[in-house]
Amino acid sequence: MTITQLEYVIAVDTYRSFVAAANKCFVTQPTLSMQIQKLEDTLGVKLFDRSHQPVIPTEIGEEIIAQARVLLAESEKIKEIISDRQKELSGELKVGIIPTVSPYILPKILNGFIQKYPAVKLIVWEQTTEQIIQQLKLGTIDCGILSTPLHESSITEIPVFYENFVAYASKNSKLYKKKTITPDDIDMEEIWVLNEGHCMREQVLNICQRRKATKGFQHFEYNTGSVETLKRMVDMNNGATILPELALAEMSDKQRDRVRYFKSPEPAREVSIVMHRNFLKRRMIEALKNEILDFVPKRLRTKKKKEVMEI
């Protein structure tokens, strides 16, 4: 049994295809298949049901693959011990980030992070919360940046900041006529919300204490995953929406006039860096967290006088 064989097995389990796994491992498909066959011969069991498409692990294969992931993670810690002894951070850091956070922090921290850590290659994907959790469990990303708490026993969460929610209202909205608002002031018939699958949608519905499905303004249902699109819909079609506070940074004075803050305790989202419980690359992840904290305003670093919305 070799580390390489275990890597090949995990790749097939992750991508459910011998061809795709071989491509990801930068080997030919016959080479990968031969090494997995050798491991199966050594163990005396079949790890995959090859008659099924896409390929799936056998019952015993699932148990062995789960242990293989643990073994590989432990072997990576040897490299991490060496890296920790070196002054310069180096290597790849694969990050998943939800699209309602990404545009408001990534452009602000990217150059600074690259300048401080030129030997680190940052690889970032915009993904939903569900996709990030799945990728962490599979080991295809190192960490995620998303809203918490997740209530996932296999995931470690490090809260980084607490971002207030604000209302963004057209002049025709009842909210526009108020200086500050409460959740009771919100009329869901005029609120534009993200489509299902985005955790911020659930947080907005929680602010309004309305879990049931809602339609868009004036009997029009619009599905979007973009906070910026919600803002434009208010600008051009009236109504109102709920935005994260960092989305205000690029607003014009005219747009800022449409922003209404909630009375204390203000609804907020907890944004965390999350990892699998057996996570590696601790120094890189810590460096990324510090870079975010350097950018985030001080008032967002505490949850005092805020009510954290559940996902």
How high is the pLDDT of residue 222?
A: 59
Nearest to 183 by CA among 232, 240, 225: 240
**Separation CA 169–CA 304 (nearest Å):** 26
For 14-65, write each residue's pLDDT tens digit.
999 999 999 989 999 999 999 999 999 999 999 999 988 899 999 999 999 9
pLDDT for 216 equals 46
At residue 270 the predicted structure's pLDDT band, cuts being 50, 70 and 90, is very high
Q: What pLDDT sits at residue 223?
A: 63
DSSP string, 223-265: --S-HHHHHHHHHHH--EEEEEGGGGTT--HHHHTTEEEEPSS
Element (H, E) at 163: strand 155-169
Phi then psi for residue 166, to 5 deg, are -130, 160
Distance CA 47, CA 214 (A): 46
Rounded-to-integer distance, Cα 143 and Cα 156, Å: 10
> Which tens digit of pLDDT belongs to each residue from 162-208?
999 999 999 999 999 999 999 999 988 888 888 777 888 889 888 87
Q: Which position has the token pair 């954290």?
A: 308
